[in-house]
């Protein structure tokens, strides 16, 4: 098996596509540029993805799922449900670096799903997974008694996601009234009141 045919080639191609989408915009991405960025041939790209649209869609899905797997995993250093939730909130905002790149890709997915009905089930599936992650973080605190046991976990997760998306978009485009610290503070204050804990426990740390 040649280097181009190795199993990791598909992931390398997806990562290259993600990088180009984030830096140049989805409309500027071409198969040839992805192949060059990935160190692969255009034939290999077409082997895994029959069309440019399929490649772009799978790249967006890849970014969302990979980020979720990394960010919603239980943190070994987290000693409490509050610490784990605080970490999750911070990592769901578009902080400079990989998180900002992921957000740019997610916004592209949202826009494409609005314009293309075929992508709406994909976006809905990814949001269901996001919701399950958030429910798991909040639900653990409710089950342990650290959070108010009367909390409706599903509704709290939906509210957290809505706040993160809304404040996150404003922080992403540089709204002077909503920087990253203010976005986190807003989400933390609202959730803390619902969960029956001090907002400081969900701070940036």
DSSP helix/strand/coil, 155: helix
Apex CA 138: angle with CA 136 and CA 139, to 5°? Answer: 60
Q: What is the pLDDT of residue 98?
A: 85
Mean pLDDT of the chain: 88
| Closest to 161 (Cα-Cα) out of 80, 93, 115, 98 | 93
- Say if residue 50's pLDDT is above 80: yes
In Å, how far are 12, 38, 130 from 165, measured between CA atoms? 28, 31, 12
Contact present, 185 and 162 (Cβ < 8 Å): no
Going by pLDDT thresholds of 50, 70 and 90, the confidence category of residue 1 is very low
Going by pLDDT thresholds of 50, 70 and 90, the confidence category of residue 74 is low
Q: Which domains does the chain have, with CATH numbers?
A: 1-50 (1.10.10.60), 59-200 (1.10.357.10)
Residue 117's Cβ-count burial label (10 Å; 0-12, 13-18, 19+) is: exposed
Q: What is the pLDDT of residues 149-169, one digit of tens each?
A: 999 999 999 999 999 999 999
Q: What is the pLDDT of residue 189?
A: 95
Mean pLDDT of 46-64: 88
């Amino acid at each position: 098996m040649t280097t181009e045919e190795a199993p990791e080639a598909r992931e390398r191609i997806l990562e290259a596509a993600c990088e180009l989408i984030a830096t140049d915009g989805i409309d500027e991405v071409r198969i040839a540029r992805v192949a060059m960025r990935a160190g692969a041939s255009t034939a290999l790209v077409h082997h895994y993805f029959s069309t440019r649209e399929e490649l772009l869609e799978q790249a967006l899905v890849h970014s969302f799922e990979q980020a979720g797997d990394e960010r919603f995993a239980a943190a070994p250093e987290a000693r409490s449900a509050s610490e784990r939730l605080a970490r999750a909130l911070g990592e769901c905002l578009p902080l400079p670096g990989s998180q900002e790149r992921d957000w740019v890709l997610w916004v592209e997915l949202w826009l494409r799903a609005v314009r293309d009905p075929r992508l709406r089930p994909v976006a809905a599936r990814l949001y269901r997974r996001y919701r399950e992650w958030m429910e798991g973080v909040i639900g653990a605190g409710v089950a342990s008694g650290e959070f108010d046991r009367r909390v409706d976990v599903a509704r709290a997760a939906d509210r957290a996601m809505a706040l993160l998306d809304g404040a996150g978009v404003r922080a992403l485009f540089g709204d002077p009234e909503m920087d990253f610290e203010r976005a986190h503070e807003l989400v933390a204050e609202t959730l803390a009141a619902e969960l029956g804990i001090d907002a400081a426990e969900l701070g940036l740390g």
